[in-house]
């Protein structure tokens, strides 16, 4: 059924898909959602040219002071302060903004062909993205204990879209999926085996959408053979993780059962001696839940520096001679370098090291501190190129033994692409 004429010449819409009459190519506008417990980030992407038509965020959902910030391409930013008691209302407000006569980018919601949802945890069930049905929603719910802060919100977002956009395909793109190619020797813990059998205790990894996008793009950018490539991706931000990718498949990653394992992060401790939990709990009379809250929200760079979880503040502190800010940055860089070194071993070498995410893309000091550990390998960094910001770029010198690049991540585009493939 033809629903409407397309705005673009020689295009028509059939079943919500944009079809070029002469080329026979099929395009779609895809809404990408990332639902948190009290927030909803979104992008509307035109898959004809992968252009972002609009993006925005709903903040403080279920709280006082709820606000929608909507940025349509080529138009002024629009901010709306209004009550958002739940995600259902937030989704409806997003759709209103997208079709608004002044601030919108589409005529009506029927132009949205599908919705791609970032979902944190798919357990061991899903190793790739999937169109949502009742079985998929059950798995997402079954994974609530593995992703208590994210999976419930992800499911709420899916069900809100089902009500607001009835009949539109909903696609779950799992943060853990890319890492499901890890071999057992990488994902198993040396704990009682029945914990794995009964509770699924194993390493899952996260930031998978980013690692998938950046590892593939790094291969393309550097001209490597996708079937003969060894890539290490450093996704460094307030949440940080590293992956080892062999021929396009992840063989190891730093996060574990939860995003707490691995590198120290903005407020997360990363790897610690697990006996610390019992030791401090006994000393201070804290419960396990209280200890985990401290390790997730009061540790990391915030704890070491005593000042901030923001790396920009740490850089300013280091420049001012603050010893603890300096320690925080040095500790972080050291841990990153240790993981890179271990993954070089796991891969039996490396072709390219890629930095991405907020810190990885923008913090030249962190990149410099990390790569100084690898001068013995003949890796050379161009300090001037390292200071630049922008698109995909080399920060290693032409005579460096290993290519080092900065690849801006685009998780939303990856989600949109995977959604398009399925619908």
How many C-beta neighbours within 10 Å does residue 39 have?
A: 16
Question: What's the sign of the alpha-carbon dihedral 413, 180, 130, 35?
Answer: negative
CA-only gyration radius of the chain, Å: 22
Residue 412's nearest CA partner among 176, 150, 209 is: 209
310 is catalytic: no
Active-site pick, 20, 86, 175, 351 = 175
- Per-residue HEC secondary structure of the chain comes to CEEEECCCCCEEEECCEEEECCCCCEECEEEEEEECCCEEEEEEEECCCCEEEEEEEEECCCCCCCEEEEEECCCCCEEEECCCCCHHHHHHHHHHHHHCCCCCCCCCHHHEEEEEEEECCCCCCCCCCEECCHHHHHHHHHCCCCCCCCHHHHHHHHHHHHHHCCCCCEEEEECCHHHHHCCHHHHCCCCCHHHHHHHCCCCCCCCHHHHHHHHHHHHHHHCCCCCCCEEEEEECCCCCEEEEEECCEEEEECCCCCCCCCCCCCCCCCCCCCHHHHHHHHHHCCCHHHHHHHHHHCCHHHHHHCCCCCHHHHHHHHHCCCHHHHHHHHHHHHHHHHHHHHHHHHHCCCCEEEEEHHHHHHCHHHHHHHHHHHHHHCCCECHHHHHCCCCCEECECCCCCCEEEECCCCHHHHHHHHHHHHC
Strand partners, 42: 33, 56
Q: Which residues are catalytic?
A: 175
């Amino acid at each position: 059924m033809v629903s409407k004429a397309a705005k673009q010449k020689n295009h028509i819409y059939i079943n919500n898909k944009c079809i070029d009459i002469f080329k026979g190519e099929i395009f779609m506008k895809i809404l990408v959602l990332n639902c948190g417990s009290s927030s909803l980030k979104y992008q509307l992407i035109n898959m004809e040219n992968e252009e972002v038509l609009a993006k925005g965020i709903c903040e403080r959902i279920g709280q006082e002071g709820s606000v929608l910030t909507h940025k349509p391409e080529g138009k002024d930013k629009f901010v709306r302060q209004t009550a958002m008691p739940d995600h259902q209302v937030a989704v409806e407000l997003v759709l209103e903004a997208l079709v608004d006569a002044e601030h919108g980018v589409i005529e009506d919601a029927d132009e949205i062909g599908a919705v791609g949802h970032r979902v944190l945890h798919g357990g061991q069930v899903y190793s790739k993205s999937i169109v949502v049905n009742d079985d998929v929603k059950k798995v997402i719910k079954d994974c609530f204990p593995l992703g208590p802060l994210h999976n419930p919100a992800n499911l709420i977002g899916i069900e809100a879209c089902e009500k607001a956009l009835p009949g539109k395909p909903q696609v779950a793109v799992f943060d853990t999926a890319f890492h499901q190619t890890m071999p057992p020797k990488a994902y198993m813990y040396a704990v009682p085996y029945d914990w794995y059998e009964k509770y699924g205790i194993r390493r899952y990894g996260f930031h998978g959408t980013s690692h998938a996008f950046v590892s593939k793009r790094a291969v393309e950018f550097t001209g490597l053979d996708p079937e003969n490539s060894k890539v290490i991706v450093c996704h460094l931000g307030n949440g940080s993780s590293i992956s080892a990718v062999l021929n396009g498949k992840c063989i190891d990653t730093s996060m574990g059962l939860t995003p707490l394992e691995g590198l120290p992060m903005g407020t997360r401790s990363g790897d610690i001696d697990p006996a610390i939990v019992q030791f401090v709990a006994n000393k201070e009379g804290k419960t396990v839940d209280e200890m985990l809250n401290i390790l997730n929200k009061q540790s990391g760079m915030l704890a070491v520096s005593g000042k901030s979880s923001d790396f920009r503040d740490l850089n300013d502190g280091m420049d001012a001679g603050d010893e603890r800010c300096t320690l925080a940055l040095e500790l972080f860089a050291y841990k990153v370098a240790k993981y890179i070194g271990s993954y070089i071993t796991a891969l039996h070498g490396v072709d390219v090291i890629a930095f991405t995410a907020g810190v990885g893309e923008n913090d030249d000091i962190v990149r410099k501190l990390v790569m100084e550990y690898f001068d013995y390998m003949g890796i050379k960094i161009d300090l001037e190129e390292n200071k630049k910001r922008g698109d995909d770029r080399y920060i290693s010198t032409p005579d460096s033994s290993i290519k080092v690049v900065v690849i801006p991540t685009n998780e939303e585009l990856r989600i949109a692409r995977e959604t398009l493939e399925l619908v």
